[in-house]
Structure 1
Amino acid sequence: MSKSLYERLGEDTGITSIVRRAINIHMENPNINARFLPYKERPEYFETVVQHSINFFNSGSGGPAIYEGRDMETAHKGMNISPAEYMYAIDDIFESLNEHNIDDDTKKDVLAILWSLKGMIIAK
């Protein structure tokens, strides 16, 4: 029996580390950081967004977390995220996956999930 995506991503600890690092990379990326830097001024809200992101990845990969945030379309409504911005965000997530030594097959599975979400996020 093969391991679940949740297990391959390092379970709770690994997913938390991957997501937190990806968000930090977003904040450093001049192509998309304008979307993330304002959260620094609202640290409690920022932590809520981070925790929602962690829970989303955790539950979406087969983990036990319960995602209680808004659906993707509602969460991104009015943001008018461009396809290029979405690709920058994916690149940042992959940088984090690489830093965490995630294998290629697992990265392909993550990409499939991210790609399935794009229609719910881009230009909403």
Structure 2
Amino acid sequence: MVKTVEKAGVTSDWLAWELDGNHRPSRENVSVAANQTIKDGQPISFDASGDAVAFDGTGAVAGVMINGVTTKTEKGAGVILARQARIVPEKLVGVAGDLATVVAGLKTLGITAVRSA
């Protein structure tokens, strides 16, 4: 019997470069809304309460989740890539709708696309 193993993605798959310095200046701590499963490398937006939710093609892209987070009935905490970085767009996960829309939204935050090697 052949067993298929799928490699889990890691941050370095999609994150090509970010600002160096104390406290990782490209990153931001966020509150994550209840009942969310956001994976590492998944674009996020903010809901009306200012909590991070998985980007679903509506609203503005606000960043990319780092390390992923799952919440149940309570809010949680997470870290997003929020500014001044370079990403490999083809490696982002859970992209709803048009990848070009996500890339354009991230560009307004200073997060630019590079080609995969």
TM-score (norm 1): 0.29
Which structure shows the higher strand fraction? 2
Which structure shows the higher helix fraction? 1
Q: Which structure's relative contact order is higher, taking Cα pairs within 8 Å and 6+ residues apart?
A: 1
TM-score (norm 2): 0.30
